[in-house]
Amino acid sequence: MPHFLQPGTCMRNLAILFTFGCLLFFSFQRLRAQSQYEAQFGNPQTNCLAGTFCVTLQLRAAPGQPDFAIGAHTLFFSYNHNIINNPVYTSIHFNNTDSCALGGFMAPYFAPSYSYDPGTGEFNLTTNMLLPNQGCPLLTTDWIDVGTVCFQITGTGQTTQLQYNTTLTLINLNDNTPQHIQGSLNPLDIALDCSAFTDTDEDGLTDAEESTLGTNPNLPDTDFDGLADGQEVTQLLTDPLNPDTDADGLTDGDEANTYSTNPLLPDTDSDGLTDFDEIDYYFTNPLLPDTDADGLTDYAELLQHFTDPLLPDSDTDGLTDGEEVNTTATNPNDSDTDMDLLSDGEEVNTYNSNPLSPDTDADGLTDGNEVQLFSTNPLLPDTDADGLNDGDELNLYDTNPLNPDTDADTLNDGLEIALGTNALSADTDEDHVPDGAEVPAGVALDTDSDGTIDALDADDDNDSILTVNEDHNNNGLPPDDNTDGDPLPDYLDNDDDGDGILTIDEDANQNGILIDDDTDNDGTPDYLDPDTNSNNTPMPHNWPATLGIFPNPAANILYVQLPVAIQSYPITVELQNASGQKAGNITVASGQNTADIAINNLPAGVYLIRLWADNKLYGVAKFVKK
């Protein structure tokens, strides 16, 4: 039954609006008069595709009646619940949002409420009044839309049987007192013909469509593939008469519902393998062309390279199969393609060596041996930069490929091999002079110019005294023995005592043994005694004279200082090599204080300068030509 608000209740709720009520009292007096209304169901709309039927509830003033306002009201009607049901109401007028009162300031009604009984097909719409005497819009003789009711179409072959209930349909005056006079309440009884949209098996296709397609209108899944015929036709575009549209061995239902593959494509991921083969045989992912994301398609792995499509690195060498095939050209099924005892991954990612070459630096050692056994650099043929490749050091010379100077003689191993010295011995010629001293700064000296470098020469100055024996203080170090105190130690000095007579010539008894010649019987052999008093050896003028020479060693120009005492005499500077052979001479004009001697064309070695003044030997000095 409808519920109506009493005037006292309305006024209590609207105490705040008394001022507005007083102002508008006279203008709304005529609207309170009782009048007659009519109702109908207008604008019937049938949407078979959506399965809905909608009508508009409409009111008007009966013909010949003046315009009037209404208060609280109930519209009660019945419908054929066997064909339409589950109504939904949408309000148009006479609601809480229709701000037509007080100059458009407020709505005169509360929000309408509705209910229905799906078992009996009864619908009740009730709207209560908020502002008495303010009802709007006015009912005129033109139909006004109260709201729309939309039903679900639940059946067919019957009529709607929409009918207002004359007893329960009530409309108050706008002062909210009962009630306006009920006029015609027009029913709506129409047939709903949705036979063209009948879907007997509820598969999403009408029976008519199924007849056209050849599917069974009584079976929702004609081909028993797990998909409704309508889903196949309207959504997936598969064949509702063929359980495996793409003939890949999987039903359309399995593809759509289980594997998410494309039932229209036998190879969803275009990797060259059918979806069925991937799922049933290879266990690869039919949605991914490269299941293991290694850069090779599943097809390429299985049928071209024979790698495992489920493992990104089939040979577990640290490189993906794709890297091996596409980038490094290594064998994805062999962890050590070049068999050098380093995995391909180690070569590429750790050592930067060539995984296709067992000896990346071509030094005669495999990369694996260099890394694991010798600790040499597999990228450098000569790890210690000594001029010998690592393989030669280990296989030929037994030198240390990690030490450029294996014998610690200050000469790198490569230079020693080039010179012919022993890279494993610091003193190749065993003369007690280290090879490094005999090859200073990498320059191989040949003091006596005999064609054999000092480091290989047992008698460096060719004075017939072995270098090892020119150790007069017997301390095992020939370099610290210098009898005449000149810049050259005895083992490099072909005139050990500086007397102007070559050591080799101080063999008075001509027996080839210098140590037994002691002309003055002072206990010092002649070759170490500058004062022999031998009648057959001329004594130089004012002997010994001190000669100043610089630089020493020299490379291009040697300067000889000329003492003032001899500058007025004719002066000759004579050069001799270590063997006593004349290497040149220059004449110096009187009055000069230095003699400039060009030596750039002389071979490296030790030389003797003999200075003659007034045809007398004045002094002797030695220098080293670099």
Tell whether 80 is covered by a domain.
yes
Nearest to 413 by CA among 438, 379, 443, 436: 436
**Number of domain units in the chain:** 4
Indicate which CATH number applies to the domain containing 40.
2.60.40.680
Considering the domain boundaries, does residue 411 fall inside one? no
Same domain, 626 and 601: yes
In-domain check, residue 69: yes
Q: What is the pTM of this model?
A: 0.55
Percent of the chain past pLDDT 70, that is, above it, reads 92
Average pLDDT over residues 359-379: 97
Of the residues 514, 539, 564, which one is the last residue of a structural domain? 539
Q: What share of the chain is helix, strand, coil (3-state, %, to 5)?
A: 20, 20, 60
Kindly state the average pLDDT of the residues 45-67: 94
155-168 burial: b if 16+ Cβ within 10 Å, else e: eeeeebbbbbbeee
Residue 136 contacts residue 95 (beta carbons within 8 Å): no
Strand duo 36-47 + 181-185: pairing: parallel
pLDDT in tens, 528-552: 887 764 443 443 444 446 578 989 9
Chain position carrying tokens 């519209």: 75
Where residue 572 sits, what CATH number does that domain have?
Answer: 2.60.40.10
One domain, residues 43 and 171: yes
Q: 206-220, 299-313, 495-509: which range is least confident on average?
A: 495-509
Mean pLDDT over 73-84 rounds to 97
Instruction: Determine the Cα–Cα distance for residues 44 and 228; give it in Å rounded to an integer.
Output: 33
Residue pair 284/278 in contact (Cβ under 8 Å)? The answer is: yes
Q: Let me know whether 553 and 507 are in one domain.
A: no
> Domain limits at 373?
336-397
Q: Is residue 318 part of a domain?
A: no
Same domain, 505 and 546: no
In the predicted model, what is the mean pLDDT of the chain? 89
pLDDT at 23: 35
Over the stretch 82-135, which tens digit does the pLDDT of each residue have? Answer: 999 999 999 999 999 988 888 888 999 999 999 999 999 999 999 999 999 888
- 532 plus 577 within the same structural domain: no
Query: Is 276 a member of any domain?
Result: no
* 367-387: average pLDDT: 97
**522 and 549 part of one domain:** no
Q: Are residues 31 and 171 located together in one domain of the fold?
A: yes
User: At 14, is the pLDDT very low, low, confident or very high (cuts 50, 70, 90)?
Assistant: very low
Residue 264, domain member (yes or no): no
Q: How much is the pLDDT for 32?
A: 62
Nearest CA-CA partner of 205 in 224, 222, 188: 222
What is the residue whose two structure tokens read 């011995």? 425
* 106 and 148 together in one domain: yes
Q: Is residue 2 part of a domain?
A: no
Across 129-138, 148-157, 259-268, 460-469, the highest mean pLDDT is recorded for 259-268
Helix (H) or strand (E) holding 45: strand 36-47
Q: Which tens digits make up the pLDDT trace of 227-269?
A: 999 999 999 999 999 999 999 999 999 999 999 999 999 999 9
Element (H, E) at 115: strand 113-117
Query: What pLDDT, on a 0 to 100 scale, did the predictor assign at position 2?
Result: 39
528/567 same-domain check: no
User: What does the pLDDT average to over 150-171?
Assistant: 94
Beta bridge partners of 122: 78, 117
Provide the pLDDT for residue 462: 86
Is the pLDDT assigned to residue 28 strictly greater than 50? Answer: no
